[in-house]
Amino acid sequence: MIVKHLEEIIGANDDIDTPTWNSRRLLLKKENMGFSLHDTVIKAGTETFIWYKNHVEAVYCIEGEGEIEVIGGETYRIKPGMMYALDGHEKHYLRAKSDMRMVCVFNPPLTGREVHDEEGVYPLLQE
Ligand code: 9YT
């Protein structure tokens, strides 16, 4: 069984900070669960273009407010209790009005080092 606490991840290796989001990675590929699990803060006032070309992702908002605009599709309000699942590799903009705390699950699991490239894509990394 695996037990971790957010406090031990904050500031350590699996805490990835970028100008628009901060992802605290609780489970990664190395844990062999078949998915990765992240506690992510999308920073207030930011917009991020994202395209998970190689992954599916489910996102569950537990704090904060903002929106997701699916390119060529709809814009949905994000607030606590809202979940979205990118089952079609949708290109999207994520905008945070306030700090949004999101629980994210990725399949295939991230290895831990990924940040978005210039296309908004996470590459498929091998460990
Ligand atoms: C919700 C979302 O896509 N945020 C960007 C960061 C990503 N979820 C991650 O690596 O935790």
37 lines ligand 1 (CB under 6 A): no
Q: Tell whether 24 is covered by a domain.
A: yes
100 lines ligand 1 (CB under 6 A): no
Res 14: pLDDT: 93
Q: Tell whether 94 is covered by a domain.
A: yes
**Global confidence as pTM:** 0.90
> Could you give the angle at the alpha carbon of 109 between the alpha carbons of 33 and 86, nearest 5°?
120
The atom of ligand 1 lying closest to the CA of 102 is: 1
What is the distance in A from the centroid of ligand 1 to the CA of 127? 20
Q: What's the CATH number where 25 sits?
A: 2.60.120.10
For residue 43, what are the domain limits?
A: 6-107
What is the distance in A from the centroid of ligand 1 to the CA of 40? 6
Q: Tell whether 16 is covered by a domain.
A: yes
Question: Is the predicted pLDDT of residue 126 greater than 50, yes or no?
Answer: no
Q: What is the pLDDT of residues 68-124, one digit of tens each?
A: 999 999 999 999 999 999 999 999 999 999 999 999 999 999 987 766 655 556 655
How many structural domains does the chain have?
1
Q: Tell whether 115 is covered by a domain.
A: no
Q: Tell whether 118 is covered by a domain.
A: no
Among candidate residues 30, 75, 68, the one with its CA nearest the CA of residue 50? 68
10 vs 1: CA distance, rounded Å: 21
Res 73: pLDDT: 95
